[in-house]
Amino acid sequence: MTQLRIYSDRDGSRPLDEFGDGEAIAAALRHVGVRFEQWSAHQPLTAAAGQEDILAAYGKEIERLKREGGYLTADVIRMQPDHPQRVELRQKFLAEHIHTEDEVRFFVEGQGVFYLHLGDRVYATLCTAGDLIGVPAQTPHWFDMGEAPQFAAIRLFCNPEGWVAHFTGSPIAQSFPSYHDFV
């Protein structure tokens, strides 16, 4: 189930507020400039659906986002519990970082937690199948997909070659609940 927990950036032991309703999550994130939407597929997808099938199922929404955000390309990333780089990839994105362009992800299946460090708050959002999150460029954040990741997500880019994590060096991520505390 999709969740949003808002913490003081000085205390990851207990949330200041929690939301489990998609509309309430969207409103709370919109208040701080973050896009959150929930989508339904326009055609049924199987667990074996490939990139082309997934992109076609959400084509209308993808085209709308491309127009609204200036995104040029979309692709699909799939992580499985047996992915050979799952440990390294998880560790890489567990540290607070920024990007010079938006990070837009739509969860087709599975789930992961985005942590957004905005001002003196941390917005921890468990995104599940059907959720889209748009993290604005230059927003300090980190992502936890768990030890046995299981998700497929559509990614939108202005420049996929330029999508690089710039780490802040802050240890803040170590002070907040992990993916496993959400599920």
Task: Please report, to the nearest 10 degrees, the dihedral formed by the alpha carbons of residues 18, 22, 25, 31 taken in order.
Answer: -160
Which residue, chain included where needed, has tokens 């970082």? 97
Per-residue model confidence as pLDDT tens digits over 112-166: 999 999 999 999 999 999 999 999 999 999 999 999 999 999 999 998 666 789 9
Q: How far is Cα of residue 27 from the mean position of the Cα atoms in its chain?
A: 17
* Mean pLDDT value across residues 70-81: 94
Cα distance between residue 49 and residue 55, in whole Å: 10
DSSP-based three-state secondary structure for 82: coil
Give me the domains of the chain, ranges plus CATH numbers: 3-181 (2.60.120.10)
Report the percentage of the chain scoring pLDDT > 90.
89
Return the pLDDT at 180: 96
Q: What DSSP assignment string belongs to 85-150?
A: THHHHHHHHTS-EE-SS-EEEEEEEEEEEEEEEETTEEEEEEEETTEEEEEPTT--EEEE--SS--
Give the helix ranges, DSSP H, for 83-171: 86-93
